Structure 1
């Protein structure tokens, strides 16, 4: 800021007026050579506005009269070139001191009433806009300024210094296109990647081999289980058929049980057994059959006469029938 000892006119508020343009042209033609001489890294200067300064009083001794007039304050920016390296902060402060020293040397000369200099905060957005000005608009939106250690950079989303970086894994490369940042995976002919960021790497050969082994195990397991189920089902069916046939035969047939050999009426064979009534030579007789001894004619004496009686042989073989056994299930028992 420089306070020039010239009267301020209303036309200076209009940047399109001739008086404004003429004043600015004269001021720049005077100050630019001076800055180039005093400031080594000077690049250019830019007038921001003209404002009205403090009133200047003048007293006339002859007329004892006071006249009042305002001055012109020129607000302008001084641009300097600073190398973007690890020492850019120190370079900036050095240039600022050089500009302030040059302004202080102008105070009190050529109607310059007052001067002052102010530090400007670093606007990294403007730096990035200036760097990406040569790029198409579709690409510029993927770039952002970043202050790295001692350095200002304009980086894309593929850079880790970006506020919202694009992460890529498994040594994949990141590139910015019209659609935004994308990850390009490596060795796609032998590997698959399940994520867009090239994460979850899957080897094709290992996948095919594992899938084949698993499929073979499943097939063998299914075949064994199927054979076991079929064989077991046949065994169960065969067992059921056999049991069913036995039960049906048992239920359909009229079972006859033979008589026991030794009963209350049985006679054991001994030395006096009559072979006629033995079990081997047993027979049945009709109830009308009468046993009559055969006597010879010379035995007609009365002492040998045997009264006639009906002697029926004892039948040692008789059919014994029992009730049919009742079948009960294991649960009923």
Structure 2
């Protein structure tokens, strides 16, 4: 089994760090249909000490990217160069929202949204570059940038009970309702759309006007389109999903939990979370090599109540031990945490 030691931080970028732009030719590295020169503003974070020897890093961010602007996020560890973890923008400005294939060396390998390290590291550094068309007056803003570091270890144990008997009223959305146009692979954006909707946010009518009138839930189609990763070939990129939630003024990040007990304070404080996991039929009644659900609460006995976008009726109750075992084993307890700005989170969920 896998347990997770984790450190995550999130912070804004000082305004002055985004005030000065210079022109830079990025050629073939442009995610737009046409390449060439772009005006850029770059912020490089400090070297961050993790506090233990980690073997994986998952960055995530939120940003405002007006039409004609975009964001590039990179990470490096001691002895490595900069790995590109995403080229991202919200909107329909022609951006080829994408991760970058083929990044592998003696230090690590980028597997879409995860940097897998060849050996343990104890620190890392993040860099963000904001880009806009030359001469443009638009001003993209990086609102938060962070990463979760994790390591395999002794399985975590715990049974907090703080949220047992509580269920949050997260709206239920089904990916199966969109099966005729790709929805069978939309568990991640459907889950993200549920949590965005829980906080009363989502696309405006003009932003979903392109969705056919017969569609049962245009917000799901919108989320799937705006989280699509060109290189990955789908909408399951973890950081792209939290960045999408951030486009609606929410705080959002990817983290990892060593156990359900560690995540229970979120539910107790009224914050649902999206869990990424794979599982077998023996564990949860069917097989999946990668799925996401919204954890909305716990029964009085501690079993997991979830909105499963691939389940008929959506709401399911899942056995606690089997869910926890599959979640921690398969994704090291990966979760999306999405909440309104200014709403505090329980102690231990984020460390600065």
TM-score interval, smaller chain: under 0.3
Name the one with the larger strand percent.
Answer: 2
Q: Which structure features the higher share of helix residues?
A: 1
Greater C-alpha radius of gyration: 1
Instruction: Give the TM-score, by structure 2 length.
Output: 0.17
Higher RCO (C-alpha 8 Å, min separation 6): 2
What is the TM-score with the length of structure 1 in the denominator? 0.18
